Copies of this chain bind each other. A is one copy, B any other.
């Protein structure tokens, strides 16, 4: 049960871009919404700043460290599944050969055509195990060294994203005034970020820009409404 986001094997734009996208999506959204929500309830910016920085610390640790530990668990899951396949290839090779036939049969490749493949794999047990991992179990080999860099990148992107909506609260003394500047700055940042994200993901940049701003705007509006209602 992999808990990390799926890393595309043939991902063209680099894993660092993907990590930045994941961290910044939440970093621009949640601290923005929290600051907007609190601005609906308190007039002093100091509470908003305190809560905002506390949220950024909590969110970056939860995403970064949590993601790192999940990636490590996934790597261990892969290693234990690989050991299981290794044992099966060694101890019950006939059943494993049957499984290769089943996988290929699901693509309409009959036993006659698949037979030579099975015999070729039987000559190379390590390649056979790798074949089963990918083709039977659909598991991709995780890179254990990526986990730490990935976690740090996601956490940093979250912090950078989170400081955008919070910055106006350092400048303006009144929360209401800071809120208006924060909404303007953050919606602009979400549009730009969504546009760039759409470019990298292959989705339409304009639609990605509007969707990203929509999620941030809705989250902020809901937080604002709830905070205003209960205060």
Q: Which residues of the partner chain B approach A61 to less than 8 Å between Cβ atoms?
A: 33, 215, 218-219, 222
Shortest 10 CB-CB distances between A and B: which pairs? A6-B6, A37-B54, A33-B58, A113-B116, A54-B223, A9-B138, A108-B127, A61-B219, A108-B124, A113-B120
- B215 touching A66 by the CB < 8 A rule? yes
Is residue A57 within 8 Å, beta carbon to beta carbon, of the partner chain? Answer: yes
- B65 touching A215 by the CB < 8 A rule? yes
- B120 touching A117 by the CB < 8 A rule? no
- A29 touching B62 by the CB < 8 A rule? yes
- A6 touching B9 by the CB < 8 A rule? no
**Shortest distance in angstroms between A143's beta carbon and chain B's nearest beta carbon?**
14
Q: Could you tell me which A residues sit within 8 Å of B by CB distance?
A: 1-13, 17-18, 21-22, 25-26, 29-30, 32-34, 37-38, 41-42, 46-47, 49-51, 53-55, 57-59, 61-63, 65-66, 69, 73, 76-77, 80, 104, 107-110, 112-117, 119-121, 123-124, 127-128, 130-131, 134-135, 137-140, 200-203, 208, 211, 215-216, 218-220, 222-227, 230-231
Complex Cα spacing A192 to B220, Å: 32
**Between-chain CB contacts (< 8 Å), 7 pairs:** A4-B6, A5-B6, A25-B66, A33-B62, A61-B218, A107-B127, A109-B120
Choose among B2, B7, B55, B215 the residue that contacts A55 (Cβ–Cβ < 8 A).
B55
- B1 touching A3 by the CB < 8 A rule? no
A-side interface mostly: helix
- B53 touching A227 by the CB < 8 A rule? yes
Choose among B41, B73, B124, B208 the residue that contacts A201 (Cβ–Cβ < 8 A).
B73
Q: Which residues of the partner chain B approach A113 to less than 8 Å between Cβ atoms?
A: 116-117, 119-120
Q: Which residues of the partner chain B approach A200 to less than 8 Å between Cβ atoms?
A: 1
